[in-house]
Amino acid sequence: MSKTQHPVELLRFNTCGSVDDGKSTLIGRLLFDSKSIMEDQMEALERSADITGGGQVNLANLTDGLRAEREQGITIDVAYRFVATPKRKFIVADTPGHVEYTRNMVTGASTANLSIVLVDARNGVIEQTRRHSYISASLGIPHIIFAVNKMDLVDWSEERFREIRDGIESFLPKLDLFKDVKFVPISALEGDNVVTFSDKTPWYEGPTLLGHLESVHIASDWNLNGFRFPVQWVNRPNNPTDKTLHDFRGFSGQIAGGIVKVDQEILVLPSGQKSKVKEIWTHDGSLEEAFCPQSVTVVLEDNLDVSRGDTLVGFDPLPGHSSDLAARVCWMNPRPLTSGNKYYLKHGTQTVQAMISSLESKIDIRTFEPEPNPVELVMNDIGEVRLRTSKPLVFDGYTTNRLTGSFVLVEQGTNATVAAGMLHSPAQQYKPEYTDFSI
């Protein structure tokens, strides 16, 4: 799989920051300067500029695709955009700045490898800067860029830029660790240091924003330690396309961590049965080995009872296995989260019932300090909770594996998605009952 005709890497990033920090303008600028805007889009922009913008083309209208967004001049929901340069392909999530649309910011950020947090050079670090930095760190986004925007409005002051950088660097140690952090002084409106270097910042020696996006090391962002395979769908053909496969019984899914090889010993959890990998089947032919995040169909040596929601795991290391869980949650519903509430919890490929057994703390976004024993979490709060699930989960800590360490809560009745949850590392690993294993 490694050798192909198009060895082009894909980087997913999101832009966040407060309203009017210029997120949509920045993406508009990236699209415009990398020539990813087409003539008909430009014509549409000019048409709308004549109507609402007093003749001035508004780059933000490129991503604010909803009528309500253009009316109010704000971003309500994530817009996804696509930029390709000779070096990389990018999926860009333009996420809303308003605090009431934090759920949509989390949506856009959850799948990103990199976050750009915009800071208005005039206003400096404000609560939304802190909130979005905290959420980006909690979501385990490995790379972050603080783009200090509207530098033209502070006369390209190096002192102001340093002041903002120092302010951010003073709170970063309180957050979960990023792999790398960059600060770039820009003007999204004028384009300085976005795609091309600005002659107004001789004191800035770092890369342009796009230069960094094109070069930041992302190849190791997927988890290749500890095989995890949540079974999505049992593949048992009634009428196989290949008649020799009438006894075929495979387990289809996407590898959520690690590498799997033919003949490797695996455990089926939660049942604890062990087996060996007989075949890694794909429509394009069998593989000797497969890795995260490939989608494959695994055939086992033994005829075991395995169904959706079960997880095939490797031994080194074993995951956690518990129905008593500790997690950080980002609450996204107008009805508050309180202790004793029941929800559906979707984790990997299984949905179980979950009860909030206690609210441990709520994060104060101004200080990043936990407030112990809050009564409730309201919309956009982030806090630490304990949950009990109706069935044990097979999981890893979110900081170890973003796929096996994450869950969402769904409200019963309305089916609204109400929380994003990030599990803490298990207190203890699953203990196999067998002793005949060499681990």
Residues 328-387 binding another protein (CB under 8 A) are 332, 344, 346-347, 349
Cβ of residue 240: shortest distance to another protein, in angstroms? Answer: 4
- End-to-end CA, the chain: 29
Residues 298 to 317 in contact with another protein, rule: CB under 8 A: 308
Nearer to another protein, 232 or 339 (CB): 232
Sequence-separated (6 or more) residues with CB below 8 Å from residue 155: none
Nearest distance, CB of residue 425 and another protein, angstroms: 18
Specify burial of residue 434 (Cβ count, 10 A radius: 0-12, 13-18, 19+).
exposed
Shortest reach from residue 103's CB to another protein, in Å: 4
Nearer to another protein, 204 or 281 (CB): 281
Q: Is 351 helix (H, G, I), strand (E, B) or coil?
A: strand
Closer CB to another protein, residue 254 or residue 357? Answer: 254
Q: Which is nearer to another protein, 154 or 330 (CB)?
A: 330
Nearer to another protein, 47 or 122 (CB): 47
| 364 vs 217: CA distance, rounded Å | 32
Q: Cα dist. 36→85, 116, 266 in Å? A: 9, 19, 46
Angle at 200 between CA 198 and CA 201, to 5 degrees: 80
Site string for another protein, 47-76 (x = CB under 8 A): xx-------------xxxxxxx-x-----x
Rounded to a whole number of angstroms, the minimum distance from the CB of residue 204 to another protein is 30
Please select the residue that binds another protein; options are 96, 142, 185, 253, rule is CB under 8 A: 253
Alpha-carbon distance of 404 to 213, in angstroms, equals 27
Phi/psi for 317 (5° steps) reads: -90, 165
Residue 234 backbone dihedrals phi, psi, to 5 degrees:
-85, 125
Number of residues interacting with another protein: please give it, by CB under 8 A. 83
Q: Does 399 bind another protein (CB under 8 A)?
A: no
From the CB of 290, what's the least distance to another protein, in Å?
9
Other beta carbons within 10 angstroms of residue 334's beta carbon come to 10
Q: Which CB atom, from 347 or from 362, has the smaller least distance to another protein? A: 347
CA–CA dist 145, 42 (Å, integer):
28
CA-nearest of 145, 122, 149 to 132 is 145
233 vs 434, beta carbon nearer another protein: 233
* Helix, strand or coil, per DSSP, at residue 395: strand
- Of residues 29-48, which lie at the interface with another protein (CB under 8 A)? 38-41, 44, 47-48
Give the pair of three-digit tokens for residue 283.
Answer: 């429509």
Q: Which of 31, 59, 78, 394 binds another protein (CB under 8 A)?
A: 78
Structural tokens at position 319: 């995951």
CB-wise, 66 or 177, nearer to another protein? 66
Transcribe 114-162 into DSSP letters.
EEEEEEETTT-S-HHHHHHHHHHHHTT-SEEEEEEE-GGGGTT-HHHHH
The answer to whether 28 contacts another protein (rule: CB under 8 A) is: no
List binders of another protein among 131-190 (CB under 8 A): none
Looking at beta carbons only, is 80 or 197 nearer to another protein? 80
Q: How far is CA 400 from its chain centroid?
A: 14
User: CB 346 → another protein: shortest distance, Å?
Assistant: 5
Question: Could you say which residues in the range 94-133 bind another protein, by CB under 8 A?
Answer: 103-104, 106-107, 110-111
Q: Give the angle subtended at the CA of 163 by the CAs of 157 and 165, to the nearest 5°.
A: 105
Strand partners, 259: 291
Element (H, E) at 352: strand 350-364
Query: Which of the ranges 117-125, 207-215, 249-257, 369-377 carries the binding residues for another protein, by CB under 8 A?
Result: 249-257
Question: Residue 160 or residue 228: which is nearer to another protein going by CB?
Answer: 228
- Tell me: does residue 427 bind another protein (CB under 8 A): no
Taking CB under 8 A as the rule, does residue 428 contact another protein? no
- Is 284 a binding residue for another protein by CB under 8 A? The answer is yes
